[in-house]
Amino acid sequence: MDSAAVRVSSAIPTGLRGLAPFLIAIPILAALQLAVNEMPFLVYIASIVGVNIILAVSLNIVNGMTGQFSIGHAGFMAVGAYIAGKFSLQLRDVAISALPIALSDQILLVAALLIGGSCAALCGFIVGLPSLRLKGDYLAIVTLGFGEIIRVIVQNTEAFGRALGLSGIPQRASFFMVYFWVFLTIVVARRIAASTHGRSLWAIREDEVAAESMGVNTTGYKVRSFVISAFFAGVAGGLFAHFVPIINPGSFTFVKSIELVVMVVAGGLGSTTGSILAAIVLTLLPEAMRSAFIALSGGQASLAQKVDQIRMPIYGILLVLLMLLRPQGLFGNREIWDVLPRWFARRRKGT
Amino acid sequence: MKEVLLKVDDVSINFGGLKALSHFNLEIRQGDLKGLIGPNGAGKTTAFNVLTGVYAPSAGNVLVCGQRVNGWMPHEINHLGLARTFQNIRLFRALSALDNVRVACRAASAHVDNRRLIQLRKQGLLGSAAAGLLEAGTNYLDWWRALLLTPGFLRNEQEIRDRAGELLGVMGLSPRATEEARHLPYGEQRRLEIARALGTRPRVLLLDEPAAGMNTREKADLMTLIGELRDQFSLGILLIEHDMKLVMGICEEITVLDHGETIAVGSPEQVRENRKVIEAYLGDSYLEAHAAVGSGGAQ
């Protein structure tokens, strides 16, 4: 039996396999943090990109890998943002006395993120358990409803600042913190995808009846993927709340959810690297267009401001073009390292 | 006499006014190889769907390894030791051949103690609540191990890979391990479905037209293989097949369905002689043709 062919070999001792990526990533992120320290605008843009990457990669676990259609991701983000934001607001003047201020701030931030993420995960569980028992498009309707409910609740609750939103949340989310969570999300998504559990999620996406007949508890798996996805959406929301000056219900509308779905679909359903790339491009695109318009119009800001309004039609056109030219998304259900070598090979053959 | 692994006791199922299956009886023991035949729409696949929990029976009982499973979810029934293949191939098309089998292996290995859970479930409401909690707890623990890549988890994964690889070997699919299921030729897809079903460590295997679309040679090979699988994995096998010659060749007992009714049960010879079967399934033309051949031979 040729089991050597399927054996996964690695130079890293098994005890360290779980930690190794972090041991490499943390010093790199710390170095980057030092490099970008003096560039607040770059850090701000990079943080927005990072939050969108977390959201797209986590949404991809449900929409891509498991094949369920959730369109309420902004709702989970809102839960995380408001809970974490409220937590930090309440504890704004509190510090852990034994530690330096900066460190104590970061620890409180992590606590806030974990609380926000957990609340979002709990919402995911409550929403998912009844609706994921159903098959087909019901989940889309339920998640759509959930997103709107959260927004309306926030809009009408005094504690969350109603339509004005929350301001004055301490801005503790550093470049390092955002990208540490980006990294964590990606590692989790990749490990899920590679494990046999993840294969079961794919199996549900491919054929739910067959998966069920092969002993996969489809409801259980779907709920778990949904909860993990909601957790990271909550964390992304929490991070968002800690670097933007103000959060209000307008940041978590249905449009935001659709934006995330577009990222996942454009990157290829099931492709983590595709989601990352699509999140980067689709976040930077409006910024780039804004700069381009400012340059073109000779510094007339009014035209540049319109970019935000024409963003959605442009998304729509992009999506239509994508579906016509490459219906499976950028990378299909593969990853960049599966796809790129093949493209190059084809090009070489072509010339 | 060996233990009864699958017992179907007077099962009926109605869809509205339509009786898809009525008073269906069957018993599979270890080492049995039984056939289920009938014309199109006779209720053969419906019978499989009732046994595997896709539909709940309207009346009667299904017992798997002595446990009544009416209304159970398909995955729970599978954990008791019942696995199936599908008439219209239902592989996980985008997954590699190996991963197709891995999914099934996982499902089985994650529930090593499912017999304990089932015993707990039998003890009323409190027991089933405890079983539910225990199951959810072990599942979440398992996911954390997967996310942290603990050594125990990696060892588990390797075991699953090895076992999946072995099963591919048994079905002659080793060279195809990394290929996507949808790119396999038709006959190999059929065999991959069997490998996947075997991954769940079944005690009873239900094969829904495993030889459909194959040529005569492939069919004969497959039938030999099915006989070998039964012995190697000590299975009981129930087979739906359209090709009369094949069924007659390897099955020890055949049940014939027509319009949901069981019209004959018995050895291949008995079934072949049965007047009702010939009318319903083989048709009058078969009878005439054989009579013609018979008279032709006499001349």
Condensed to tens digits (0 to 9), the pLDDT of residues B169-187 reads 999 999 999 999 999 998 8
Residue B110 pLDDT grade (very low, low, confident, very high; cuts 50, 70, 90): low
User: Min CA distance, A25 vs chain B (Å)?
Assistant: 16
CB-CB under 8 Å, A7 with B104: no
- The tokens of B273 are what? 């002689």
Give the C-alpha distances (Å, rounded to integers) separating A2 from A78, A152, B173: 50, 59, 11
Whether residue A247 is contained in a domain is answered as: yes
Q: How far apart are CA B145 and CA B158, in angstroms?
A: 14
Whether A113 is in a domain gets the answer yes
| Residues pairing with B9 in the sheet | B61
Q: Is some CB atom of chain B closer than 8 A to the CB atom of A8? A: yes
Nearby residues of A295 by Cβ (< 8 Å), 6 or more positions away: none
Residue A11 falls within a domain, yes or no?
no
Asked if residue A2 is part of any domain, the answer here is no
A235 near B CB under 8 A: no
Report yes or no on A27 lying in a domain: no
Residue with tokens 């996406």: A205
CB A68 within 8 A of CB A132: yes
B188 in Cβ contact with B173 (< 8 Å): yes
Whether B146 sits inside 8 A of A17 (CB atoms) is no
> CB–CB of B220/B229 below 8 Å?
no
> pLDDT at position A163, please?
83
The answer to whether the CB of B267 falls within 8 A of the CB of B257 is: no
pLDDT at A305: 66
Higher pLDDT, A3 or B122: B122
> Which of B139, B147, B177 is facing A191, going by the closest CB pair?
B147
Domain contains A17? no
- Nearest CB neighbour to B107, from listed A8, A214, A224: A214
DSSP state of A328: T
Q: Residue B153's closest chain A neighbor by CA?
A: A195
- Structure-token match 């990696």, residue found: B154
Residue A40 pLDDT: 87
- B33 beta partners: B237
What is Dmax (Cα atoms) for chain A?
Answer: 71
Contact between B103 and A217 using a beta-carbon 8 Å cutoff = no
Task: Please tell me the predicted confidence (pLDDT) of residue B247.
Answer: 81
Is A14 part of a structural domain of the chain?
Answer: no
Q: Where are the domains of chain B?
A: 1-81+202-299, 98-185
Domain that holds residue A318: 35-350
Residue of A nearest to B148 (CA): A18
Query: Chain A closest CA to B144's CA: distance in Å?
Result: 10
pLDDT at B298: 37
Count: domains in chain A: 1
The tokens for A166 are 């929350």
Residue of chain B whose Cα is closest to the Cα of A19: B148
DSSP assignment of A37-90 equals TT-HHHHHHHHHHHHHHHHHHHHHIIIIIS------HHHHHHHHHHHHHHHHHH
For residue A75, what is the domain's CATH number?
Answer: 1.10.3470
Task: Return the pLDDT at B284.
Answer: 63
Helix (H) or strand (E) holding B263: strand B261-266
pLDDT recorded at residue A35: 87
- Average pLDDT over chain B, rounded to whole? 84
Strand extents, DSSP E, B151-221: 204-208
At B70 the pLDDT is 87
Tell me the angle at which helices A218-241 and A73-90 cross, rounded to the nearest 10 degrees.
50
- As a whole number, mean pLDDT of residues B279-292 equals 65
Among B86, B147, B182, the residue to mutate for chain A (most A Cβ within 10 A): B147
**B54, A213: Cβ pair inside 8 Å?**
yes
Phi then psi for residue A238, to 5 deg, are -60, -45
Report the CATH fold assignment for B1-81+202-299. Rossmann fold (3.40.50)
User: Do β-strands B4-15 and B18-29 pair in parallel, antiparallel, or remain unpaired?
Assistant: antiparallel
Selection from A170, A33, A166 nearest residue A91 by Cα: A170
Q: How many Cβ contacts (< 8 angstroms) between chains A and B?
A: 135
| Residue A333 near residue A265, CB atoms below 8 Å | no
- Whether residue B159 has pLDDT greater than 60: yes
**How many whole angstroms separate alpha carbon B81 and alpha carbon B208?**
17
| Long-range Cβ contacts of A168-171 (<8 Å, 24+ apart) | A168/A89, A168/A92, A169/A85, A169/A88, A169/A89, A169/A241, A169/A242, A169/A247, A170/A88, A170/A89, A170/A92, A170/A105, A170/A242, A171/A242, A171/A243, A171/A245
Q: What percent of chain B has pLDDT over 70?
A: 88
SS3 A330: coil
pTM for the whole structure:
0.89
In this prediction, residue B7 carries a pLDDT of: 92
The minimum CA-CA distance between B157 and chain A, rounded to whole Å, is 7
Whether the CB-CB separation of A87 and A112 falls below 8 Å is answered with: yes
The pair phi, psi for residue A18, each rounded to 5°, is -70, -35
Reported confidence tier of residue B132, pLDDT bands at 50, 70, 90: confident
User: What string of pLDDT tens digits covers the 351 residues of chain A?
Assistant: 344 444 455 667 777 778 888 888 999 998 998 888 888 888 999 999 999 999 999 999 999 999 998 999 999 999 999 999 999 999 888 777 788 888 888 999 999 999 999 999 999 999 988 888 877 678 889 999 999 999 999 999 888 888 888 888 888 888 999 999 999 999 999 999 989 888 999 999 999 999 999 988 898 899 999 999 999 999 999 999 999 989 999 889 988 998 899 899 988 888 999 999 999 998 998 788 777 777 777 666 666 566 666 777 777 888 888 888 888 888 888 888 888 887 777 777 654
Tokens of A6: 């399927």
Per-residue pLDDT at A317: 85
Q: How many residues does chain B have?
A: 299
Stretch 61-90 of chain B: residues touching chain A, C-beta under 8 Å? 73-75, 78-79, 83-84, 86, 90
A211/B161 Cβ within 8 A = no
The answer to whether position A163 is within a domain reads: yes
Write out chain A residues lying below 8 Å of B132, CB-based: none
Most confident of A288-297, B52-61, B237-246: B52-61
Chain A contact for B55 (CB, 8 A cutoff): no
For residue B14, list its beta bridge partners. Answer: B19
Which chain B residue's Cα is nearest to A212?
B75
Q: Which residue of A lies nearest to B80 if distances are taken between CA atoms?
A: A215
A171 SS3 class: coil
Contact between A200 and B103 using a beta-carbon 8 Å cutoff: yes
Q: What is the mean pLDDT of the segment spanning B187-205?
A: 92
B114 at A interface, C-beta within 8 A: no
| Contact between residue B106 and residue A197 where contact means Cβ atoms under 8 Å apart | yes
Q: What is the pLDDT of residues B20-34, one digit of tens each?
A: 898 999 999 999 999
Count CA atoms within 13 Å of residue A331 on its CB side. 23
Q: Cβ of A14 under 8 Å from any chain B Cβ? A: yes
3-state secondary structure string across A233-290: HHHHHHHHHCCCCEECHHHHCHHHHHHHHHHHHHHCCCCHHHHHHHHHHHHHHHHHHH
pLDDT of residue B289: 64
**Contact between chains at A215 and B160 (C-beta distance less than 8 A):** no
Phi, psi for A2 (deg, rounded to 5): -95, 65
What pLDDT, on the 0 to 100 scale, is given for residue B295?
Answer: 42
Higher pLDDT, B233 or B249: B233
pLDDT at B112 over 90: no
Residue B173 sits at φ, ψ, to 5 deg, of -115, 10
Q: Is B79 left (phi over 0), alpha (psi -120 to 50) or beta?
A: alpha
Dihedrals φ, ψ of A91, to 5°? -100, 25
